[in-house]
Amino acid sequence: MSKSVKLREFLARLSDYGVIIHPNPARGKGSELVVYKPTNPDNLAKGPIFTITNHGMGKTVGMGLMLACLRRFGIDKNEFLDGL
């Protein structure tokens, strides 16, 4: 199950499930990305939030971080990993 996935690919796949990357420069210089999945289309601020370390889009995402993120957003891990 240990599949090597780049951050760029991981974020692209998450966006297929309705997860949004929150570009907020007020949060700092950019070593972390805030991603969230809105539960209500009228209010994009509501819903589960997850932070992902960002040391470059070409860096590999660890399996633990990937699975924790999928659990937070209620995404089936087998379905997600099959699409990568």
- CATH number at 68 reads 3.30.920.30
43: which DSSP letter?
Answer: B
Give the position of tokens 């070409």. 58
Query: What residue numbers bound the domain in which 14 lies?
Result: 5-82
pLDDT of residue 3: 72
Q: How many folded domains does the chain comprise?
A: 1
> Which residues of the chain fall below pLDDT 50?
none
% of the chain at pLDDT higher than 70: 87
Angle at 31 between CA 4 and CA 29, to 5 degrees: 155
Q: Which residues contact 29 (CB under 8 A, 6 or more apart)?
A: none
Q: Which residues contact 83 (CB under 8 A, 6 or more apart)?
A: 13, 16
How much is the pTM? 0.84
The gap from C-alpha 28 to its chain's centroid, in whole angstroms, comes to 18
pLDDT of residue 27: 63
